[in-house]
Structure 1
Amino acid sequence: MTFFEDYPEPPEHPPHTPPTSPAWAGPPADELPGVVPVSAFVHSGERVALALKSVDVYSTGCVLDLVWTVRRAGRTEHEWRDVLDKALTPRGPFQPGSDGLLVGVGFGDGRKAFAAATGPGTDDGAEDVAGPVLVALGGGGAGGNDQIVEGTSRYWLWPLPIDGRPVLVAKWDGLGLPESSLSIPVESFPEAARSVRKFWVE
């Protein structure tokens, strides 16, 4: 027998059930999306390029996966340091104000969705939001050197557009990217949506 043989077991706590997020807030956590490869430029210039790499299609919406790159191309050391500061801050392209990467989606009926760090409001339920909603999910892989800086940015678009011809619009004044646009290939979305799989089948 040891001194701690009768040490009391900690009480069991019931598992915590997190609140259900509205559909507009982000992709479903229990789905493997269908992927639409796009690989098309939103803008390609002498110094800066932005492309839509692919679209992850879920049952309720889609994630737009953007890649961007900027090259020095004759900038002075001071000018290039300013570019790196704008691109590699902790918030990267998601800086507040017009110096950051501005992204939106326009629809043929005049509706617009502007990317934001959050959706319509944390207290709003999905049933109270008509959409469309575009939420900045963040990015990754941003890095740079003496000649080039590059990174990725991801956006959740809700609800899933399956007709019309929505247009992705972007500009980044801080890095010299003018307002540019690209049609989103929604004609491929129905087939991609049919390939969505649940991680767990109840």
Structure 2
Amino acid sequence: MWVSHRAGPADEPPTPEQMHHWHRRMSPPENEFPAGVGLTALIGRTDEAAVGITQIEAYSTGFQFTLAVRLRQARPNRARGGLFMLISSHAHPGIEIPLEDRLLLGIEYSDGRRASTLKNMRMLGPAAMADGGQLVLVGQGGGGGEQSVHQTYWVSPLPPEGPVTFVLAWPAFGMPESRTVLHAAVIRAAADRTQQLWPPQPAVQSAEPPPPPRPTSGWFAEPPD
């Protein structure tokens, strides 16, 4: 998983503690086995397309779900991965996707905290997670074909008691802004069933790769200052 290593305004490298906290916020804990919530929800539907939430799994630090998209018929202008680009929260270099074509997804907790796919949380850097309370919504893996695609999302922290509101808007496919409410109690109850496999392990710092070999003579033989 790619992450920004910006630690703050001074661009100081993040501390090991910041990086550990960052990874715990940006992805499911690797030392836990999740518990299934047992819910699915169809959050948007027309005669030609449908959007739903499946495979909700809870951890001690948040929950994960899969956004599933289905089209009645393939659209020629969305062939070869074009449909997935509309739902992916990742930027695609050299490809400009109009806002009205994109599937927009957001989450709001009962205490007013909100997050959406319009903001790439990974770009904020470890220092932005210092308070531990900011709601995080980040895309994980995904894929699919011309009529069916999916995208997994990670949400952290766990929701407080009350409603968990999923907000969807996809004007290009006839879906105006709408809200679907789930109850935090079922997610929190599943989190209590999470199994810790072993204590959290310290992050392994990757060794700096060695420089490529240089010619023994000529301009390229001398390294730059």
TM-score normalised by structure 1 residue count: 0.73
Deviations 1:118-161 (A, max 9, x none): 34612326333431121122313x112xxxx0111121111101
The alignment status of 1:131 with 2:134, answered yes or no, reads yes
Task: Give the CA RMSD over aligned residues.
Answer: 2.7
Q: Which has the higher strand share?
A: 1
Q: Secondary structure at the match of 1:37?
A: coil
The alignment status of 1:82 with 2:77, answered yes or no, reads yes
Moved more, 189-198 or 101-110: 101-110
How many residue pairs are counted as aligned between the two chains?
Answer: 173
Q: Secondary structure at the match of 2:130?
A: helix
Q: Secondary structure at the match of 1:188?
A: helix
**1:62-101 equivalent positions in 2, closer than 5 A:** 62-72=63-73, 80-84=75-79, 86-88=82-84, 91=85, 93-94=87-88, 96=91, 98=99, 99-101=101-103
The alignment status of 1:164 with 2:159, answered yes or no, reads no
Deviations 1:166-185 (A, max 9, x none): 20111223444332221123
Moved more, 111-120 or 48-57: 111-120
Assess if the C-alpha contact under 8 Å between 1:119 and 1:134 holds in 2. Answer: no
Deviations 1:51-105 (A, max 9, x none): 1113110101111222110112xx8xxxx212436304xx452165523221111
Q: Secondary structure at the match of 2:190?
A: helix
> Judging changes above 3 Å, is the alpha-carbon distance between structure 1 residues 71 and 83 closer, same or farther for their aligned structure 2 residues?
farther
Q: Secondary structure at the match of 1:124?
A: helix
* Aligned equivalent of 1:38: 39
> Judging changes above 3 Å, is the alpha-carbon distance between structure 1 residues 201 and 111 closer, same or farther for their aligned structure 2 residues?
closer
**Distance in 2, Cα, partners of 1:192 & 1:126:** 25
- What are the ranges of 5 or more consecutive residues in structure 2 without an aligned counterpart? 1-15, 92-97, 201-225
**1:17-32 equivalent positions in 2, closer than 5 A:** 19-22=19-22, 23-32=24-33
**Distance in 2, Cα, partners of 1:63 & 1:105:** 12
Assess if the C-alpha contact under 8 Å between 1:33 and 1:58 holds in 2. Answer: yes
- What are the ranges of 5 or more consecutive residues in structure 1 without an aligned counterpart? 1-16
**Distance in 1, Cα, partners of 2:199 & 2:134:** 29
Moved more, 128-137 or 160-169: 128-137
Moved more, 173-182 or 26-35: 173-182
> Judging changes above 3 Å, is the alpha-carbon distance between structure 1 residues 29 and 48 closer, same or farther for their aligned structure 2 residues?
same
> Judging changes above 3 Å, is the alpha-carbon distance between structure 1 residues 86 and 177 closer, same or farther for their aligned structure 2 residues?
farther
TM-score normalised by structure 2 residue count: 0.66
**1:137-152 equivalent positions in 2, closer than 5 A:** 137-140=140-143, 142-144=144-146, 149-152=147-150
